[in-house]
Amino acid sequence: MNIGILLKEGPYNHQAADTAYKFAEAAIAKGHKVDAIFLYNDGVINATKLGDPPQDDRNIAARWTELSQKHGVEVLACIAASKRRGINDDVMIEGGEITGLGTLTDIAIRNDRLLTFGD
């Protein structure tokens, strides 16, 4: 099954980012293809390299980078949501890309399922 993910919450103030990541990992381990993660609203903060969590905490941005590099998952941030939060290409994680909201429609069309994490 081909799966797209929509993540609408920031990395440390809500469980949605952790749940989306763990879901993606589990789906891939079961042989499904996770095509793309589309970040919207505060979700765009997940794909910035500006965070510097303590050593004993999880590094959510690094998790998305690894998922992208290891499994070819696109990590896409909504341009409007990014601009509202001062995020540009310079601060995106490796493998992350800023794109238009129309890309979310493409993800929904080309995949069997689109799962949403966050409010």
User: Which residue shows structure tokens 């609408």?
Assistant: 8
Nearest to 38 by CA among 2, 89, 81, 84: 81
Binned at pLDDT 50, 70 and 90, residue 113 comes out as very high
CATH number of 2-117: 3.40.1260.10
Taking only the tens place, the pLDDT of each residue in 22-70 is 999 999 999 999 999 999 999 999 999 998 889 889 999 999 999 999 9
Give the residue numbers annotated as catalytic, written as ranges: 78
Encoded amino acid at 103, one letter: T
Q: What is the mean pLDDT of the chain?
A: 96
Question: Packing angle between helix 60-71 and helix 16-29, nearest 10 degrees?
Answer: 20
Domain boundaries along the sequence of the chain: 2-117
Q: Where are the beta strands (DSSP E) in the chain?
A: 2-7, 33-39, 74-78, 96-99, 113-117
CA-based torsion, 13, 96, 111, 2: positive or negative: negative
- Quote the CA–CA distance of 39 and 4 in Å, as a whole number: 11
